[in-house]
């Protein structure tokens, strides 16, 4: 029999041991509960002190021990699974957190399975707690680096005898199998860094998760002086192997041993910030990363299906499950479905619903030497194989037709899917091939189980929603009341990518996310149809075209602050690059072993972009208040700043290119005279709204439009304020219509001291 152990840190030191009979799907072989906390902390201050609790909920932290049968067809897609344990099953240990109603409160039956982003936490919204839903978070990323590091005592079991003790929870992780002694060539890059000290080999700010092997005779360190977003590279020099070395810190002359991650590189003559350093080196001991995806599947299946007597604290309480992931976690959500892992080993559906938010690709979590932290930078995986839901031809890359849903459709285990995203996912995260394929001629129809919602002119994850007629420019220094200073900064994500030139984009995602959380839950639980899908299309309603080539975007000329060189193909809209990873890599499944490092670029997959209006704001998305009652041009992209920006050594490598996946804004002039003086073609606030009351009226009209079409929550408070279309809002949700109109009323738009409520107070 399999043994499961239950332990609470608040109970006695002795563990409670429970057993159940083996079954065909008993892949989670042991549950250890390390800590139970009541009440649940729902808010913390900047130093981590809990400032708000929910006495109705408790938090359970623990570890799931599991096994994977390499001969089970459900696991056959996992790269290297047959090598993980030549003598039997592959084993894993995965972290988990459960947040559930406590005491006599009966759970609703809905479990939100949230995907941790790089090992981090995912807050559980107040509305989900008001509905008595359950939250499960569990580890999936098995690279044991940075935010996903595995505790050294992860295998310790009760009763805990010195020196073995229960691991304290710091982050989510999976202890995945390791192919000890296996080596292979991988690639690391160092950008915008200078000096004589050792520099880190990072991927998206986290350590590259592989240590160098002893033999580096085949390693090569090359400099690049220029790279374009469409894969054009100017190579500088090859640095002799005698002039660099791995080091755990220090300098070339006085290095420290390499014992921990991140691995550092030391140069004899130091680093030049104007160059990119690309190191191809021999690494050792790869992880069986796909075991982490299977662990995520198995943990969800266990807590959903395992009966009483199996140490399942949710036994008999869950009848619906929804996987939800944002950004990289959303990429993982798409990845899990593509691999067919929404079906457990007993053939049952794991998640009834799925919600990938702001996710434009899949994630590199099922190839040898994969780097799950990678995003969109050159030579990073994640865009291989079909990115679209339905089976569809891939003519440019010459792959056989397929789609993300192929495997789950064969087994009738596809979830109901809502996907939400915006402008940043188009311009930097390679989103639009999932709409039109690699040879864009037609829109790919959406399957019946998928709904798609595009938030126009938005940054990655949405902005702060501020309604400000003149937001502070990037780089503005603010003097605080205590005499300290704060600099307004829009940083480009990535490996020292740089800083954005334009102001932060305030268009919020909050209201759309709130509405879709209601819609997805009701669709999964009751079969209630969500609002119609809305996204830019090549052939939309009434033959309207809102999705075009980047050269046909229609962006207005002469907008102040825009460097129009950004629209050149080498600077704008990151395309998918068709890499050749070698004969041992499966391009369709993004699995196997890459042997071409760096890979040749066989071609560029065209990225389509939303068309814009005369203000430069995007067309074709969900009706959105800030977009439809604008205070400026809202951009799903920004421009990487250049010389003169001290934040990145005055010379970011990517100067003038799209600033990775962060948005920007260019405010409208306030008065007609100011607009004409700047040569700005966009109407001023004075010409658009006239007065503060005129702006508030425009916000009300935009909110009515969004609510009446079903994309904005408008409830009793909105009804009292005269909203046109209102309905009942589930407990815990805000009345977003009322919140937006109240924010507009309180805003400084034509409402500053001396304005007298007018955009131009001059008589």
Task: Give percent above pLDDT 90 in the chain.
Answer: 85
Is 506 a domain residue?
Answer: yes
Tell whether the model's pLDDT for residue 14 goes beyond 70: no
Confidence of residue 23 (pLDDT cuts 50, 70, 90): very low
Q: Is 89 in the same domain as 215?
A: no
Number of domains, the chain? 4
Which of the listed residues 635, 667, 699 is the one where a domain comes to its end?
667
Is 343 among the domain residues?
Answer: no
**Residue 620 domain flag:** yes
Interval 94-138: pLDDT, tens: 999 999 999 999 999 999 999 999 999 999 999 999 999 999 999
Could you tell me if 214 and 262 lie in one domain?
Answer: yes
pLDDT for 11: 33
CA dihedral over 197, 201, 207, 212, signed as positive or negative: negative
What local confidence, expressed as pLDDT, does residue 22 receive?
A: 39
Q: Quote the domain boundaries for residue 68.
A: 2-176+288-318
Q: Do 122 and 195 fall into the same domain?
A: no
* pLDDT given at position 8: 35
DSSP string spanning 374-437?
--SSTT--S--S--SSS-EEETTTTEEEE-TTHHHHHHT-PPEEEEEEEHHHHHTS--THHHHT
Mean pLDDT of 228-243: 96
Query: Do 660 and 677 fall into the same domain?
Result: no
Q: Say if 508 falls within a structural domain.
A: yes
pLDDT tens for 26-50 read 489 999 999 999 999 999 998 889 9
Binning pLDDT at 50, 70 and 90, where does residue 25 land? Answer: very low
User: 262 and 388: one domain?
Assistant: no
Predicted confidence at residue 24, as pLDDT, reads 39
pTM of the model: 0.95
Lateral strand order in the sheet of 244-247: 199-200, 264-267, 244-247
- With 0-12 / 13-18 / 19 or more C-beta atoms within 10 angstroms meaning exposed / middle / buried, residue 82 is middle
Statement to judge: residues 138 and 49 lie in one domain: yes
* Residues 641 and 716 grouped into a single domain: no
Percent of the chain with pLDDT over 70: 95
Q: Is the pLDDT of residue 726 over 50?
A: yes
pLDDT at 660: 86
- Residue 5 confidence class, pLDDT cut points 50, 70, 90: very low
User: Is residue 526 scored above 70 in pLDDT?
Assistant: yes
Rounded-to-10 torsion of CA 323, 64, 27, 330: 20
Mean pLDDT of the chain: 93
Is 354 inside a domain boundary?
Answer: no
Same domain, 411 and 306: no
Contact of 629 with 701, CB cutoff 8 Å: yes
pLDDT digits (tens, 9 = 90+) for 543-562: 789 999 999 999 999 999 99
Residue 104 lies in a domain: yes
Instruction: Specify whether 134 is located in the same domain as 212.
Output: no
Residue 6 confidence (pLDDT) above 80: no
Nearest to 102 by CA among 59, 131, 63: 59
Give domain status of residue 325, yes or no. Answer: no
Q: Residue 649's pLDDT is what?
A: 57
Domain closes at, from 652, 667, 682: 667
3-class DSSP state of 321 = strand
What's the pLDDT band for 644 if we cut at 50, 70, 90? low
Distance CA 137, CA 5 (A): 19
Domain-terminating residue out of 650, 667, 684: 667
For the segment 567-608, what is each residue's pLDDT rounded down to a tens digit?
Answer: 999 999 999 999 999 999 999 999 999 999 999 999 999 999
Residue 449 forms part of a structural domain: yes
| Residues 115 and 260 grouped into a single domain | no
Q: Do 153 and 265 belong together in one domain?
A: no
* Domain match, 463 and 584 both: yes
């Amino acid at each position: 029999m399999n043994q499961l152990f239950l332990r609470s840190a608040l109970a006695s030191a002795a563990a409670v041991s429970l057993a159940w009979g083996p079954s065909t799907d008993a892949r989670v072989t042991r549950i250890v509960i390390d800590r139970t906390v009541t009440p649940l902390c729902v808010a913390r201050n900047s130093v981590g002190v809990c400032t708000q609790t929910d006495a109705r909920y408790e938090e359970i932290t623990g570890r799931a021990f599991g096994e994977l049968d390499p001969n089970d067809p459900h696991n056959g897609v996992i790269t290297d699974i047959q090598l993980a344990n030549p003598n039997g099953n592959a084993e894993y240990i995965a972290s988990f957190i459960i947040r559930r109603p406590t005491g006599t409160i009966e759970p609703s039956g809905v479990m939100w399975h949230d995907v941790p982003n790089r090992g981090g936490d995912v807050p559980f919204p107040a509305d989900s707690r008001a509905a008595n839903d359950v939250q499960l978070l569990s580890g999936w990323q098995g690279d044991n680096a940075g935010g996903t590091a595995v505790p050294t005592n992860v295998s310790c079991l009760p009763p805990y005898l010195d020196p073995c003790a229960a691991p304290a929870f710091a982050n989510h992780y999976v202890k995945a199998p390791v192919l000890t002694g296996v080596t292979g060539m991988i690639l690391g890059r160092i950008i915008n860094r200078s000096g004589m000290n050792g520099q880190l080999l990072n991927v998206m700010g986290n350590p590259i998760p592989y240590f160098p092997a002893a033999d580096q005779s085949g390693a090569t360190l090359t400099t690049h002086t220029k790279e374009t977003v469409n894969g054009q590279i100017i190579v500088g020099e090859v640095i002799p192997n005698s002039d660099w070395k791995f080091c755990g810190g220090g300098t070339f002359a006085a290095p420290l041993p390499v014992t921990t991650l991140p691995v550092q590189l030391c140069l004899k003559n130091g680093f030049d910030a104007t160059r990119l350093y690309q190191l191809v080196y021999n690494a050792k001991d790869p992880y069986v990363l796909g075991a982490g995806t299977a662990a995520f599947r198995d943990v969800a299946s266990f807590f959903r299906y395992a009966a009483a007597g199996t140490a399942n604290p949710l036994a008999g309480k869950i009848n619906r499950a929804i996987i939800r992931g944002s950004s990289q976690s959303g990429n993982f959500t798409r990845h899990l479905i593509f691999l067919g892992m929404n079906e457990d080993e007993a053939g049952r559906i794991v998640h009834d619903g799925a919600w990938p938010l702001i996710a434009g690709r899949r994630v590199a979590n099922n190839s040898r030497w994969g780097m799950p932290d990678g995003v969109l930078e050159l030579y990073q995986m994640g865009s291989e194989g079909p990115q679209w839901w339905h089976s569809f031809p891939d003519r440019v890359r010459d792959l056989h037709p397929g789609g993300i849903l192929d495997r789950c459709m064969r087994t009738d285990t596809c979830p109901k899917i809502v996907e939400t995203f915006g402008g940043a996912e188009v311009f930097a995260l390679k989103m639009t091939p999932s709409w039109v394929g690699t040879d864009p001629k037609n829109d790919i129809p959406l399957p019946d189980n998928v709904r798609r919602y595009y938030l126009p002119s938005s940054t990655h994850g949405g902005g702060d929603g501020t309604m400000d007629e003149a937001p502070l420019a990037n780089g503005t220094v603010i003097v605080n009341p205590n005499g300290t200073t704060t600099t307004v900064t829009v940083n480009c994500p990535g490996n020292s990518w740089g800083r954005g030139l334009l102001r932060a984009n305030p268009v919020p995602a909050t209201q759309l996310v709130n509405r879709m959380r209601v819609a997805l839950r009701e669709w999964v639980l009751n079969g209630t149809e969500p609002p119609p899908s809305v996204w830019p299309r090549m052939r939309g309603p009434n033959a309207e075209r809102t999705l075009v080539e980047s050269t046909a975007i229609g962006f207005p000329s002469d907008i102040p602050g825009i460097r129009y060189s950004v629209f050149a193909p080498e600077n704008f809209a990151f395309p998918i690059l068709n890499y050749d990873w070698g004969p041992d890599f499966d391009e369709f499944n993004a699995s196997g072993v890459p042997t071409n490092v760096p890979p040749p670029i066989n071609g560029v997959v065209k990225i389509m972009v939303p068309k814009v209006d005369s203000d430069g704001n995007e067309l074709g998305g969900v009706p959105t208040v800030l977009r439809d009652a604008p205070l400026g041009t809202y951009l799903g992209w920004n421009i990487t700043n250049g010389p003169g920006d001290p934040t990145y050594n005055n010379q970011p490598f990517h100067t003038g290119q799209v600033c990775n996946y962060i948005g920007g804004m260019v405010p409208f002039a306030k008065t007609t005279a100011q607009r004409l003086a700047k040569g700005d073609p966009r109407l001023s606030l004075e010409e658009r709204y006239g007065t503060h009351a005129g702006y508030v009226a425009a916000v009300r009209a935009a909110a009515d439009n969004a609510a009446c079409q079903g994309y904005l929550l408008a409830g009793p408070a909105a009804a009292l304020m005269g909203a046109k279309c209102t309905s009942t809002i589930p407990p815990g949700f805000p009345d977003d219509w009322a919140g937006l109109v109240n924010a507009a009323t309180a805003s400084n738009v034509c409402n500053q001291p001396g304005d007298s409520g007018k955009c131009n107070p001059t008589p």
